[in-house]
Chains A and B, each alone.
Chain A
């Protein structure tokens, strides 16, 4: 009963948020079960951070909070402001029930840029866990804050943080306006990559995170493009007679698996990502074969096929060989996505007419359905494997949400208008 009430409250919050512009968006996170066991962390306002506009500490706090693994303690403004330069009174922070503390400062440099410094303290063990100094421009304040949050996350959780990674997705503004965008992992700092009068689907990040492959319908049919983000250069990498779709990058970034109908049906081919050379057919079947995805080690190709009568997930060796069926429960299992360690298969399953995200442990074959909406699509693992980004529908509009791989932490990304779909979480960037 309590759970149900909480869920409804969560839904209500989401709907309220959906009607607000991004600037006023608040954190929307729901934690169930043992996820409530969060590490208490204090992030003090950085001394002098007002010079950077929104500052640093607020972004670090929001990042950590959104992960669902930390409980952020209130830290009132103090005068003089706390900085990483002064000695820390550990006993005082222990009394405030903090396990960890972040202190920092921002100062202006003579060249017009800024210096941001921080230090992370283990309050329980009375010791520092390290710190970094960054040189940044005003525009790099958010990026710097994400890096600091990544540092804190890695030190306290023991795995890499993903706050400084990016996501890509498509916004449908109207029947004749589509935007391919990228944003920070928190959904803010949106940048337009491509605007078109025709649909765009299936964006996917190159392994180095500087290019996107996607399907555009601007030629009145699906054509696969590769698009370089920094210079905006793009080229049609698969533009054969018929339909061209479902691009997937090989881990080396040099080859794409695509689905072509040029030789009949929907079949999987390999092509060079630079557009050179001939297309190579993976295998020939009389069924639909689509949605290819390479395993992280590049050895397997996972794909959706209806060769058994209903769409199911299969895999076959990239070098060629017999396909193996991977999904058995249900009559509609599509959109395979591998976790970064290759151990978990995420896919979309139809469950009594509802489309939900399922996770299959490839080791012990344990199956878990981690979403409970009507139309959950396009699951995409964070590069550390902890969260899964997905598209869902709320109040008739497409929005992005993220769910932890254990299903306990759910969050909705800020909504800035339009119908949002086709999310893809980008790789770690150095």
Chain B
């Protein structure tokens, strides 16, 4: 019994330490704990253990999680679109970026991946770099607004993942974008 208690304490301690150092483990299924019926070792009373739940999934339970998915909430908006050859975040997306910065600030365990994208014109590798510049630009804004460095990873998908596979300006406008994803969504 004592051994189980130590193991449990060690496990919760480890989880707390992990969440503290912010390395953001991706596992969402807690480790299985062996279930022993009380009384098996002679009927002594079982110690009750108070456990403080730690959530490291980045998608906190309850209202917050709902907020990320709720179409009425600005947090459900995840794409920032750009003009041709531009990487500055246009004024119309300021509210969106501010909302996500606030969310990251209030949920230190939350982790975000920003994927920068470009339209199909030009060199694939140069477009990887252009997409990176777009995602980096969004991250910079988020950090200025209080998100932590280790919460946000920026990558580029270049021209490889168009939202609209068509050709021409209407399609290209949808493909020049940054997508904001929370862990569990990528």
Contacts and interface: CB of A to CB of B under 8 A. Distances in A.
B129 A266 contact: yes
A245 interface: yes
Contacts of B129: 259, 266, 288, 290
Given A243-B132, A335-B125, A199 B154 contact: no
Nearest to B161: A199
Given A220-B113, A265-B133, A266-B133, A377 B123 contact: yes
A241 interface: yes
Contact of B123 (A175, A259, A334): A334
Nearest to B186: A220
A375 B124 CA distance: 12
B119 interface: no
Contact of A201 (B133, B154, B160): B160
Interface in A395-411: 396
B123 to A, nearest CB: 4
Interface residues of B, number: 26
Interface in B153-174: 153-158, 160-161, 165, 167
Given A222-B155, A242-B153, A266-B132, 16 more contacts: A199-B157, A199-B160, A199-B161, A201-B160, A202-B125, A215-B128, A220-B155, A243-B131, A246-B125, A261-B155, A265-B136, A290-B125, A291-B123, A335-B125, A375-B121, A378-B124
B125 A288 contact: no
B174 to A, nearest CB: 15
A348 B126 CA distance: 11
A49 interface: no
A355 interface: yes
Nearest to A290: B129
Given A264-B136, A334-B126, A241 B121 contact: no
Which of B122, B123, B156, B160 has the most A CB atoms < 10 Å from its CB?
Answer: B123
Contacts of B124: 201-202, 377-378, 421-422
A284 to B, nearest CB: 15
Contacts of B133: 265-266, 288
Contacts of A378: 124
Q: Which are the 6 A-B pairs with shortest beta-carbon distances?
A: A266-B129, A221-B155, A199-B160, A334-B123, A288-B129, A290-B129
B153 A348 contact: no
Interface string A239-254: 0011101100000000
A222 B156 contact: yes
A300 interface: no
B115 interface: yes
Given A220-B113, A304-B123, A348-B123, A290 B155 contact: no
B130 interface: yes
Nearest to B165: A175
Which of A243, A266, A378 has the most B CB atoms < 10 Å from its CB?
Answer: A243
A217 interface: yes
Contacts of B126: 288, 290-291, 304, 311, 334-335
B156 A201 contact: no
Contacts, number: 98
Interface in B66-119: 113, 115
6 contacts: A242-B155, A243-B154, A266-B128, A266-B132, A288-B126, A332-B122
Nearest to A267: B129
Nearest to A199: B160
B128 A222 contact: yes
A170 to B, nearest CB: 10
A266 B134 CA distance: 12
B128 A246 contact: yes
A140 to B, nearest CB: 35
Contacts of A94: none
Interface in A347-384: 348, 350, 355, 375, 377-378
B125 A201 contact: yes
Interface string A197-212: 0010110000000000
A221 B136 contact: no
A314 to B, nearest CB: 13
Contact of B121 (A199, A243, A355): A355
B169 to A, nearest CB: 12
Nearest to A201: B124
A355 B125 contact: no
Nearest to B130: A288
Contacts of B115: 220-221
